[in-house]
Structure 1
Amino acid sequence: MRRRGLMAGGLALAGMAGAARAQDRFPDRPLRLVVGFAPGGPTDIVGRRFADRLGAVLGQPVVVENRSGASGSVAAIEVARARPDGYTLLLTTPSAHAIFPQIAVRPGYDALADFSPIGLVAIAPVVFAAHPSFPARSLPEMMDLVRARPGAFSFGSGGAGTITHFGMELFMRQAGGLRLEHVPYRGAGPAVQDCVAGHIPLVVDTFAPMIEHHRAGRLRILAVLAEQRSAVAPDVPTAAEHGVPGAVANTYNALLGPAGMAEAAVAALGRATRQATENDEFRAFLGAISAEPVSGMTPERTAAYIRSEYAKWTPIIQASGLRIE
C-alpha cells in the first residue's frame, strides 16, 4: 500500500516536472498569428513581416492566418475563444479594439476583458490633406475658412466608423466645433483618389496612401494628428502646433492573446515582440510603408495604451450616434 502511494506520488511529481519543463521550453511548436484583414492590406503586410521577425526570435514558425470581416472583429472573436496557451495570437487594430466594440450592439467580445495584451508592433498617425485647388494653404487658414463657412466643405474617409473618420471628428471637436460634411468611401484608396481628382476638397487617412501625392504636389497634407512631427514627412505640422490640443489619433497594430494566458508565456512573448520590433531591419521596413516603430512597450504598457485608446474614443463615438445592429 505504502509502495503504491510512493509510486503515485512519484508519478505526480514527474508530471509536474514535465509540465514545468514544457513551460520552460515555450514555445515548442509553431504559433498562429490571426490577422483580421484580407491578404495584401496594410495590416496583413505588417503582420507577415512581424511574424517572420517574431519567429526568428522565438525559434519557431509564426504562421499568419487571415480571418477578415466586420472591421477585424471576426479575428478578434476567434482569438478570444481560443485556448489561452500562447500559441494563438491576434494582431489587432483600433478598428477591432477601440471602435467596433463601442458601435456594435452585439460585438461578440469584450475588447478589454477577453484578451491578454502582449506588445505594440507599430503605429501610424492620422493625417488630413487638401486638393491643391482648396483655398486654404495651411492649417490655420483651413480652420478660419471652415469657421466662416460651416458645413460648406466635405472630407472623405475610408468609411464610417473607421479610426480615420473618428480622428477627423476628434480634430473638429478639439478645434472648437468645426463643421465639415463627411463623405464615407469603401476604403482609403477611393477616397484619396477622389481628392486627387478634385471631387472632394479634403481627405483623411494615414501617410501611406497620401505621402507620394503630397511630395508630387497632387495633395497638400495640412496636419498630422500626433504629439510630434513624423519622420515620414517632417514638413507637416501637428495640429497642436496650431492651437488644437489633444488632437492625437493613431492607428496601431497590437499583439494580443486570449485572456487567461500564463504570465510566463505573456512575458516571453512580450520580450520577443520588443526584440523583433526594435530590430533595425524591421524599423526600416516600417519607415518604407510610412508607419512608425515603437519602443519599450511591455505587456503592462500595452494594456494601458489599449485602455486609454478605448476610453479616448468613447465620447467621440457617442457623439456620432453611429450604431451597428
Structure 2
Amino acid sequence: MNAQRRLLLACASALLLPAAHAQSWPQKPIKLIVTFAPGGSSDIVARLLQPGLQEKLGQPVIVENKPGAGSTIGAAEVARAPADGYTLLLSNTAPISISPFMMDKLPYDPVKSFAHIAYIGAVPNVFVVHPSVPAKTMPELVGWIKAQSKPVNYGSGGMGSIGHIVGEMFKNQYGLQMEHVPYKGSSPMHTDLLGGTLQFAVDTLTQNVPYMKDNKLVGIAVTSRKRTTLSPNVPTVGEAGFPKLLAENFLGVSAPAGVPREVIDKVNKAVAEVVARPDVAKRLDDLGVTPEKMSAAEFTDFVTRQVADWAPAVKASGAKLN
C-alpha cells in the first residue's frame, strides 16, 4: 500500500512539474514598445528604466520604437500580441487617452485591450518659440499670432500627441489662425525649430529644456499645475491666465489584456523598485517627470479616468487622424 501511494505521489509530482515550470516568467527576452521616435520623453524614460528592469526580471529588455498614426501603430502591435508578458508597452497619454477620439475606427480599446500594469509618472508640455518670435508671455504669443497675415505653423511631436491637442485647444479657444505641422517625434521637429523654419511648438518639456537653457528656444508656459524644478522660471498656463490648457503626459507600462497575474505582479514590483532608485529618481526629476507609485488596479482606474477626461477636450478640438 505504501509503495502504491509513493508511486501515485511521484506520478502527480511529475505531472505538476511542467505546469510549474510554464508559470515561471520570464524565460526569454522582453520587448518594450515605445510609440514615438527615439529622442522623445517616452523613449528616454524607456531606456532609463531598461537596465534596472533587466536586472530585476533576469532577462534582456529590448526597447523598440514604433512611431506613427498618432502613436497607435505601436499600441496596436502590443494589443495584438500574445498575452504572455513578452511584449510590453511604454504607455502614455497619446495612444491611450487621445488617439481613440481622433479616429473613426480604432484598432484597440484603450482600456479593455490592455492590462495597465505600472504607473511611472507624468511630464508637462511647454509652449516654446524660436528667439526670433517677439513674444515672451502667453498674451504676447496670442497677440503675435493674431498680427500675422497668414496662419502660423505650430509643431508637435506627432499627430495625436498632447502637443497637437493642446495646440488645437489653444487655437479654438482664442480664435487663432494656426496650422498644425506634425513630426515623427520631437528630434526631427527640433531641426526645423532651432533653424527657424518652424517658429512655434507645443511639445513635451523634457527635450526642450537644454535648448531653453542655452537660449536657443524660449519657454513661454508649461502645462502643469505647478512650476517644475526643471524650468522654475517658466510660469504655468494657469499663472499665465490660460488655465484651460492644463495637460500632462503620463507614462506607464502596459501589456496585452489577459496577461497572467504573475506578469502583472512582477512588472509592477520591478518598475516601482527601479523608479525608487536614487539615481533613477534623480534622472526622472532632471527630465521633469513627477513619479508616483500605484498598484496595477490604481493605474487601471487612473487610465480609465484619463480616457473619460480627455474625450471631450479632443472632440472639441476638432483634431482628426486620417
Same fold (TM over 0.5): yes
Look up the match of 1:266: 264
Secondary structure at 2:26 match in 1? coil
How do 1:38-57 and structure 2 match up within 5 A? 38=37, 42-57=41-56
Look up the match of 2:316: 319
2:33 is equivalent to residue 34 of structure 1: yes
Secondary structure at 2:291 match in 1? coil
2:303 is equivalent to residue 298 of structure 1: no
2:243 is equivalent to residue 242 of structure 1: no
How many residues get paired? 318
2:154 is equivalent to residue 123 of structure 1: no
Secondary structure at 1:105 match in 2? coil
Query: 8 Å contact 1:278–1:295 — kept in the other structure?
Result: no
Q: Distance in 2 between matches of 1:203 and 1:271?
A: 37
Query: 8 Å contact 1:150–1:178 — kept in the other structure?
Result: no
Are the structure 2 counterparts of residues 199 and 275 from structure 1 closer, same or farther at C-alpha, using a change threshold of 3 Å?
A: same
Secondary structure at 1:179 match in 2? coil
Are the structure 2 counterparts of residues 69 and 206 from structure 1 closer, same or farther at C-alpha, using a change threshold of 3 Å?
A: closer
Query: 8 Å contact 2:122–2:249 — kept in the other structure?
Result: yes
Are the structure 2 counterparts of residues 287 and 17 from structure 1 closer, same or farther at C-alpha, using a change threshold of 3 Å?
A: same
Query: 8 Å contact 2:123–2:250 — kept in the other structure?
Result: yes
Tell me which moved more, 145-154 or 76-85. Answer: 145-154
Q: Shift of residue 51 of structure 1? A: 2.0
Q: Shift of residue 306 of structure 1? A: 2.1
Structure 1: 5+ residue stretches without partners: none
Secondary structure at 1:213 match in 2? helix
Q: Shift of residue 70 of structure 1? A: 2.9
Structure 2: 5+ residue stretches without partners: none
Q: Distance in 2 between matches of 1:133 and 1:260?
A: 52
Secondary structure at 2:71 match in 1? helix
Aligned-pair identity in percent equals 30
Q: Distance in 1 between matches of 2:149 and 2:227?
A: 29
Q: Shift of residue 109 of structure 1? A: 1.3
Query: 8 Å contact 1:91–1:254 — kept in the other structure?
Result: yes
Query: 8 Å contact 2:284–2:291 — kept in the other structure?
Result: no
2:100 is equivalent to residue 101 of structure 1: yes
Secondary structure at 1:183 match in 2? strand
Q: 1:229 aligns with which of 227, 230, 245?
A: 227
Q: TM-score, normalised by structure 2?
A: 0.82
How do 1:136-285 and structure 2 match up within 5 A? 136-143=135-142, 145=143, 154-158=152-156, 159-171=158-170, 177-187=174-184, 188-189=186-187, 191-199=189-197, 201-285=199-283
How do 1:1-40 and structure 2 match up within 5 A? 11=11, 15-16=15-16, 19-20=19-20, 23=23, 25-38=24-37
Query: 8 Å contact 2:96–2:110 — kept in the other structure?
Result: yes
Q: Shift of residue 233 of structure 1? A: 0.7
Q: Which amino acid aligns with 1:245?
A: P
Alignment root-mean-square deviation, CA: 3.4
Secondary structure at 1:226 match in 2? coil
Q: Distance in 1 between matches of 2:278 and 2:53?
A: 14
Are the structure 2 counterparts of residues 206 and 65 from structure 1 closer, same or farther at C-alpha, using a change threshold of 3 Å?
A: closer
Q: Shift of residue 223 of structure 1? A: 0.5
Q: Distance in 2 between matches of 1:59 and 1:100?
A: 34
Q: Which amino acid aligns with 2:91?
A: T
Q: Which amino acid aligns with 1:249?
A: A
Q: Which amino acid aligns with 1:205?
A: D
Tell me which moved more, 279-288 or 114-123. Answer: 279-288
Q: Distance in 1 between matches of 2:215 and 2:64?
A: 38
Q: TM-score, normalised by structure 1?
A: 0.81
